[in-house]
Chain A
Amino acid sequence: MRIFDFDKEVRFMSLRWPAMIFSTLLILGSIVSLVVNQLNWGLDFTGGTVIEVGYQQPAKLEQVRKQLNEVGFGDAVVQHFGSSEDVLIRLAPREGVKSDTLGDQVMTALRASGEQVDMRRIEFVGPQVGEELTEQGGLAMLVALICILLYVAMRFEWRFGLGSVAALAHDVIITLGLFSVLQLEFDLTVLAAVLAVIGYSLNDTIVVMDRIRENFRKLRKGEPEEIINVSLTQTMSRTIITSGTTLLVLLALFFKGGALIHGFATALLFGIFIGTYSSIYIASSVALMLGISKEDLMPTEVEKEGADLDPLP
Chain B
Amino acid sequence: MLNKYPMWKYLMVILVVAVCALYASPNLYGEDYAVQVSASRNAEVDTRLFEQVKSDLQQAGVDIKSIALEEGHLLIRLKSGDDQLLVKEQLEASLGNNYVVALNLAPATPDWLDGIGASPMKLGLDLRGGVHFLMEVDMKAAITRSIEQMEDDFRNSLREEKLRYRRVEQKSDRVDVQFRDQETLDQAINFLEKNNPGILFKDEGELLMTATLSELRLKEIREYALKQNITIMRNRVNQLGVAEPVIQRQGSDRIVVQLPGIQDTARAKEILNATATLQFRMVDIEHDVRDAVEGRVPPGAQLLMDRKGQPQLLDKRIMLTGDHIVDASSSFDEYGRPQVNIKLDSEGGNKMSRGTKDNIGKPMATVFIEYKPTSEKDKDGKIVFEKHEEVINVATIQARLGNSFRITGIDSPAEAQNLSLLLRAGALVAPISIVEERTVGPSLGQENIELGMQAIFWGLVLILAFMPIYYRKFGLVANTALLVNLVMIIGVMSMIPGATLTLPGMAGIVLTVGMAVDANVLIFERIREELRDGRSPQQAIHHGYDSALSTIADANITTLIAAVILFAVGTGPVKGFSITLAIGILTSMFTAIVGTRAIVNAVWGGKRLNNLSI
Contacts and interface: CB of A to CB of B under 8 A. Distances in A.
Interface of A: 1-3, 52, 54, 100-101, 103-104, 107-108, 111, 118-126, 128-129, 133, 136-137, 139-140, 143-144, 147-148, 151-152, 155, 188-189, 191-192, 195-196, 198-200, 202-204, 206-207, 210-211, 214, 234-235, 237-238, 241-242, 244-253, 255-258, 260-261, 264-265, 268
A195 B562 contact: yes
A104 B560 CA distance: 41
A232 to B, nearest CB: 13
B458 A256 contact: yes
Given A196-B577, A248-B459, 16 more contacts: A111-B381, A118-B443, A120-B441, A124-B434, A124-B438, A125-B437, A189-B504, A195-B565, A238-B525, A245-B514, A246-B514, A248-B463, A252-B458, A257-B452, A261-B451, A261-B507
B165 to A, nearest CB: 40
Contacts of B310: none
> 3 closest Cβ contacts across the A-B interface?
A249-B459, A199-B559, A249-B514
A53 to B, nearest CB: 9
A252 B462 contact: yes
17 contacts: A104-B269, A122-B437, A123-B439, A133-B571, A140-B570, A143-B569, A144-B565, A152-B558, A189-B504, A192-B578, A210-B554, A242-B515, A242-B521, A252-B458, A253-B511, A257-B510, A258-B448
Contact of B562 (A148, A237, A253): A148
A202 B555 contact: yes
Contact of A241 (B435, B470, B507, B574): B470
B563 A199 contact: yes
Of the listed residues A3, A118, A140, the one surrounded by the most CB atoms of chain B closer than 10 A to its CB is A140
Nearest to B439: A122
A133 B572 CA distance: 12
Nearest to A210: B551
Contact of A143 (B471, B565, B571): B565
Given A143-B565, A195-B562, A249-B463, A238 B439 contact: no
A245 B511 contact: no
Nearest to B556: A203
Interface string B103-135: 000000000000000000000001000000010
Nearest to B458: A252
B557 interface: yes
B481 to A, nearest CB: 13
Interface string B419-450: 00000000000000111111111011001100
Interface in B501-547: 503-504, 506-508, 510-511, 513-515, 517-518, 521-522, 525, 528-529, 547
A3 B528 CA distance: 13
Interface in B41-84: none
B507 A265 contact: yes
A195 B439 contact: no
A137 B507 contact: no
A128 B517 contact: no
A257 B509 CA distance: 12
Contacts of B557: 151
Contacts of B269: 100-101, 104
Given A124-B437, A199-B558, A256-B454, A136 B569 contact: yes
Contacts of A128: 435
Nearest to A197: B562
Contact of B522 (A137, A139, A199, A207): A207
A41 B100 CA distance: 42
Contact of B441 (A119, A191, A210): A119
Contacts, number: 230
Contact of A198 (B434, B467, B562, B569): B562
Contacts of B521: 238, 241-242, 245
B439 A144 contact: no
A195 to B, nearest CB: 5
B188 interface: no
B517 to A, nearest CB: 5
B266 interface: yes
Contact of B561 (A3, A100, A151, A244): A151
Nearest to B461: A252
Query: What's the interface size class on B, roughly?
Result: 35 or more
A275 to B, nearest CB: 12
B463 to A, nearest CB: 6
Contacts of B506: 257
Interface of B: 126, 134, 136, 263, 265-266, 269, 380-381, 433-441, 443-444, 447-448, 451-452, 454-455, 457-460, 462-463, 466-467, 469-472, 503-504, 506-508, 510-511, 513-515, 517-518, 521-522, 525, 528-529, 547, 550-551, 554-563, 565-566, 568-571, 573-574, 577-578, 581
A129 B134 contact: yes
A273 B530 CA distance: 29
Given A101-B269, A123-B437, A252 B447 contact: no
A191 B381 contact: no
A260 B136 CA distance: 27
Nearest to B523: A238
A125 B447 CA distance: 24
B339 to A, nearest CB: 40
Nearest to A260: B503
A155 B563 CA distance: 19
A227 to B, nearest CB: 16
Contacts of B571: 133, 188
B551 A207 contact: yes
B455 A120 contact: no
Contacts of A251: 462
A121 B504 contact: no
Contacts of B510: 249-250, 252-253, 257
A188 B522 CA distance: 32
A148 B547 CA distance: 23
Given A119-B441, A206-B555, A199 B455 contact: no
Contacts of A52: 444
Nearest to B433: A100
B463 A245 contact: yes
A123 to B, nearest CB: 5
B451 A268 contact: no
Nearest to B508: A196
B265 A155 contact: no
B573 A256 contact: no
Contacts of B471: 1
A54 B563 CA distance: 34
A206 B514 contact: no
A122 B566 contact: no
B478 to A, nearest CB: 10
Nearest to A100: B434
